[in-house]
Amino acid sequence: MVYHENREGKPMPSSGHPMIKTNERVDPPSSCQRLTAYRQTNNYVGTLAIKTLAGPPYSVDLAPFDFYIFPEIQKQTFKKAVYGRLEAAAAYEKAVDATFAPHFLSVVPSNASMY
């Protein structure tokens, strides 16, 4: 690293600012700094009158399975027109049963537990 001298004759980084060090290791933020950043962001978003969720809408460990099952359900459900809320719910349940049952044993290991 190239250093220059400041007025007192002390070495200074080449950036010209005594607090900015170039080409040196930067420590990752601590958990306290991350929490502070999270709170500041949350407070700012709150001032914009944007509705936020306190947490994920469901368990994040189920998300990878959603990427498999949702496209399959869409393919089966939207092959025919569905009229009304009850017919849509029935078509969805039928598609879930048809998609989920045959593939469940091949996707989930036999020694897996739900909790």
33 and 10 in a single domain? The answer is yes
35 and 8 in a single domain? The answer is yes
pLDDT tens readout for residues 23-76 = 556 666 677 788 888 888 888 888 888 777 776 666 666 666 566 666 666 666
Q: Is 13 helix (H, G, I), strand (E, B) or coil?
A: strand
39 and 71 in a single domain? The answer is no
pLDDT of residue 1: 45
CA-to-CA dists, residue 95 to 44, 91, 105, angstroms: 42, 6, 17
CA 103 to chain centre: 26
Residue 31 domain flag: yes
64 and 41 in a single domain? The answer is no
Domain of 31 in residue numbering reads as 3-47
d(CA 100, CA 98): 6
Percent of the chain with pLDDT over 90: 0
91 and 110 in contact (C-beta within 8 Å)?
Answer: no
